[in-house]
Amino acid sequence: MADSAAVNGNPPVDSLKSSKCQVSHSPQPLHRTLILPLRRAADDTIPTAPDAAAAYNTVANGPVAQNVMDQSAKTSAELSNLAASRQRPSYTAATGQPLTHYHSFFSELLSWRNPRASAIAYAAVVSLIFSVRYLDILRWGFKLTWMVLGITIAAEVVGKALLNHGFTTQLRPRKYYTVPRETLDALIGDVHELINFFVIESQRVLFAENVYASAAAALAAFISYYLVRIVPYWGLAVIATTVVFFAPLVYTTNQEFIDSQLKHAGEVLNAQTAQLRSVAQKQTKQATQVTKQYMGDYTAKAQALIKGATHHHEQAPKKTTPLKASDFPAAPKEEPKKPADAEPAPAPEPEPVAKTEEEPLIAA
């Protein structure tokens, strides 16, 4: 009967009762069966204390943090090398004078052997130029000064009014800070060395101790003469700083190519100079020969004129005037009679002879 009922499509009563009992005695409702898995998934995403520490350790010891630490260590080492390079160089100037330790310092800084230190120095200089240009530092300094003084005065007054002792007095140090003499001497020595660095370098450039450096300075001054008309001073300072820092970098990066080009230019210049020297020597020799020839001719003519005048003066005939009978007195024809007692008459004085005209020394 049971089998026939099952076959006809009517389930047995016992089976229905058992199924109802199972449904009515289910341990949890349907909505809890849907919420619990979602809650478990959310709880899995919330990190616990050990997981947060592990994540921090992962970030702190990860590749990014390790790279930052490596770069910081390299930067510190390069800054230390740059500071240690402040030593007086072994070479001297052309006059034999010793150079300052700032020659080694700036040579090390601009050579980019410590790239991080050089980049930091360039960024600092450019930032200072822009801050002076766009930030009213002097006005901000005055503002900071009156604000700080106002705070200290107010704290002192309020403290004395309320607690019978000022707050600023409590913060006052027992002994005011002073600059040690050793620090001041070292600072003055550094300033002295820095000033001498610029003075010596300006003279070395002026007197062409290094021809290339003097030529570069002349070219920079020539370009700045025209740029100053259209570029403000702060822009000119930025351009000058960029050129000073990056020109050595460009040279060290392309040193072989630049040296070859400079060598070729030097050879061409030496060839042209030798050619001009030979032409100048040839022209000078010809001019000297022509000058000697003309001088010899003029000397010979002058000597001939002098000798001819002297010979003509020596051989010039002297003109004499012939004497005439009228120039002499007439002789008496009869002798005068002498009286016996009479004194002898005095002899007649001879008439003076007419003086002949003096002949000139040089014939007309």
Burial environment of residue 102 by CB neighbours within 10 A (0 to 12, 13 to 18, 19 or more)? buried
305 vs 235, more confident: 235
pLDDT of res. 116 = 92
pLDDT in tens, 262-301: 888 888 988 888 888 888 888 888 888 888 888 888 888 8
23 vs 216, more confident: 216
Evaluate if residue 323 carries a pLDDT over 70.
Answer: no
Average confidence (pLDDT) over 59-80: 83
pLDDT in tens, 10-49: 444 454 444 444 444 444 444 444 444 444 544 554 444 4
- The helix (H) or strand (E) run that includes residue 292 is helix 255-314
- The helix (H) or strand (E) run that includes residue 56 is helix 49-60
Percentage, residues of the chain above pLDDT 90: 33
In DSSP terms, which residues pair with 92 in a beta bridge? 98
Average confidence (pLDDT) over 198-225: 93
pLDDT of res. 215 = 92
pLDDT of res. 319 = 55
Mean pLDDT of the chain: 78
Its sign, for the CA torsion 330, 331, 332, 333, is negative
CB-based contact 165:159 (threshold 8 Å): yes
Percentage, residues of the chain above pLDDT 70: 69
Within 10 A of 243 (CB to CB), how many other CB atoms are there?
14
Query: Which residues does 238 contact at the CB level (< 8 Å), separation at least 6?
Result: 126, 129, 130
Average confidence (pLDDT) over 348-362: 50
Evaluate if residue 333 carries a pLDDT over 80.
Answer: no
CB-based contact 104:85 (threshold 8 Å): yes
Within 10 A of 83 (CB to CB), how many other CB atoms are there?
11
Band of the pLDDT at 344, cuts 50, 70, 90?
low
DSSP for 95-130? TSPBPPHHHHHHHHHHTTSSHHHHHHHHHHHHHHHH
In DSSP terms, which residues pair with 98 in a beta bridge? 92
pLDDT in tens, 46-62: 444 456 777 767 766 77
pLDDT in tens, 170-192: 888 889 999 999 999 999 999 99
9: alpha, beta or left? (left if phi > 0; alpha if psi -120 to 50): left
DSSP for 225-242? HHHTTTS-HHHHHHHHHH
Spell out the long-range contacts of 121-130 with Cβ–Cβ below 8 A and sequence spacing 24 or more: 121/245, 122/241, 122/242, 122/245, 125/241, 126/238, 126/241, 126/242, 129/234, 129/237, 129/238, 129/241, 130/234, 130/238
17 token code pair? 């009762």
